Amino acid sequence: MNSITPPPSKYVSKAVIKRLPRYFRYLRELIRNGTLRISSKDLAAKMNITSSQIRQDLNCFGGFGQQGYGYNVMSLYMEISKILGLEENFKAIIVGMGNIGKALAGNPLFEKRGVSVSGLFDINPEIIGSEYAGLKIRPMTEIEDFCKQNSVSIAVLAVPKSEGESVAKFLYNECGIKGFWNFSNMELSNKIGDAIIENIHLGDTLMTLCYELSQRNKEK
């Protein structure tokens, strides 16, 4: 079997992409501390990775550093924001206002990443019409018009597992949603056309924590 044809331009591996958010966080922290420049060596020490990896990762996207000096913290932060698409100001809706939906609505994480939550949706008539985190909870019947009128690109899926697939399909097919931040615990990969899907399984990390704990117990 031959290798898969790499995407058009310069191919950036999934491993690198998954590390970008961490760089973003550490740079943000450095800015907060008033640090103006940093070498790959110093950043590596903070992040507990190798300086080689930092230089390799960043050079997938361009030469952001300067020999003998290091990296300008602010400009590197802005480059990474741009690479991550955070400057595109994607619009999101939250679908399902149960406990998870509520914890996410009004959470500052969206704003920090340039994503704006513009609509909240649920099917429960008892909460429809009420306000949460400064936004009105709307009925699902309004979702199609809302997405089209507000150029929504991301749906935060916080519906029960049993509804995950059908709601996602509706959002993809009828509402033009192409990105799913999926908390429904239904794995949607390859099920929703060419949509981009991030399946979040909170329980998975709890299980690896249990694994490590039980290994620790066995050692003794």
Which spans of this chain sit near DNA (rule: CB under 7 A)? 1-4, 13-16, 39-41, 49-53, 55-56, 58-59, 63-71
From the list DNA, its own copies, none, which binds 190 (C-beta under 5 to 8 Å, kind-based)? its own copies
Which one of DNA, its own copies, none interacts with residue 58, CB within 5 to 8 A by kind? DNA
Find which of its own copies, DNA, none residue 99 binds, CB within 5 to 8 Å per kind. Answer: its own copies
Could you tell me the smallest distance in angstroms from the CB atom of residue 99 to its own copies?
4
Strand residues in the chain grouped as ranges (E): 37-38, 71-72, 91-95, 116-122, 131-132, 135-139, 154-157, 179-182, 196-199
Tokens matching residue 212: 């490590």
Interface residues toward its own copies, by CB under 8 A: 7-8, 17-18, 20-22, 24-25, 48, 83-86, 88, 90, 99-100, 102-103, 106-107, 109-110, 112-115, 153-154, 178-181, 187, 189-190, 196, 198, 200-217, 219
The one of DNA, its own copies, none whose footprint includes residue 69, by CB under 5 to 8 A per kind, is DNA
Closer by beta carbon to DNA, 59 or else 205: 59
Instruction: Quote the CA–CA distance of 15 and 18 in Å, as a whole number.
Output: 5
Q: Which two tokens stand for residue 8?
A: 């058009």
Q: What is the C-alpha to C-alpha distance for residues 196 and 190, in angstroms, rounded to an integer? A: 9
Half-sphere exposure of 217 (CA within 13 A, CB side): 6
Q: Least distance (Å) from its own copies to the CB of residue 126?
A: 18
Residue whose CB is less far from its own copies, 55 or 178: 178
Tell me the residue type at 205: T
Structure-token pair, residue 90: 């994607």
- Of 199, 142, 200, 198, the C-alpha closest to 171 is 142
17, interface contact from its own copies, DNA, none, CB < 5-8 Å by kind: its own copies
